[in-house]
Structure 1
């Protein structure tokens, strides 16, 4: 089946992201706090927490670290208040960008995000200026190996309720509706599958090809945003040049 993931292209800096694993764990810890606060500390009864735990596992967060984060969140529920804010704007060459923030200081976050945009040739826009170009989708990424049969995996995913299945160079990408994500993920987990990525995210309807000069400039903007402790996720519709590295 055809799809629009371009997972490896969009994850061109996966190695760099892996090098920042501690920061990734901190960001996931904040998502655990929000999930526990809204639905309680039990993954069995809290669907959102169950999804965040799956994301944590896909990011190689150790099980004991996950459990400590849930326990800490349970004790801190009345002490920690994060505002969830979504910023939208344009990177260099009009790249559409969505930035999700969890913050205890709105002014700090707004200033930092705006600075990252303007410093690297972009500009922050009004709410809704680019979000119409994206759809919220569940995305599960599975690394290819000799033990996985592509046809069997595709049927397994589709039977579980997935919308799409794409075979890329090194990975399989399963796409779901947001409301079906947990059910599909759990069905695949029960069949012993492990994930490189498993989360609900904003997926662009189409991608914009960019040249090497723009790619270098835009990657610096992404790095600055992703280094910000308040920034949880950054979504965009840029397609980096084939084989490009910073």
Structure 2
């Protein structure tokens, strides 16, 4: 097991799973093959997170911007989600994994909405690891929906504008009740958040790794945890470890 076990471990890890298509292109394969290989990486990382006793793992599965991709690729991604839930739900439930889905479900197909609801309801009482699937998710949309809900309460007189604070917004986000991520990892070498957990990641440690998502292994995950443990998280304050000053 990694040395991260004896050091500070994150409570919540969020991952932008990037590079499935480029992994496939580099091998002269259809992009769909990269997405299918990416599902195998999901299984490995979920198990690694459970072994590391991570309490929350968020995976960016489908962004609200992914609708711009070719319809065939979108259909393939939806099909992979259905396959993953249908094939893995029983095993995740047996291991005590709770599934929670964030993102806008209004424009999803009925069968996908029902599948996500089934996964949540089946695992609702589990407490080993909460697996948060960000599906049809975009952080700006999430924040806009939270603000619209607050505005509606102001309009009906349930709230006054002076009542609004950061906690109120936080409580109306899709992630209400989930602690903010301590560590955000992005694969494929890209170094941006891409509209992912913009509010929640305000003080997250960011880590960018060169491997494409299908090549992201248990070993890379534990290496990221070790790197996280070596960082000094100050949250705007001073370091807990005094810096030596030479005389």
Q: TM-score range by the shorter chain?
A: under 0.3
TM-score of the pair, normalised by structure 2:
0.26
Higher gyration radius (CA):
2
TM-score of the pair, normalised by structure 1:
0.26
| Structure 1 or 2: more strand by fraction | 1
Q: Of the two structures, which has the highest relative contact order with CA contacts closer than 8 Å and spacing of 6 or more?
A: 2
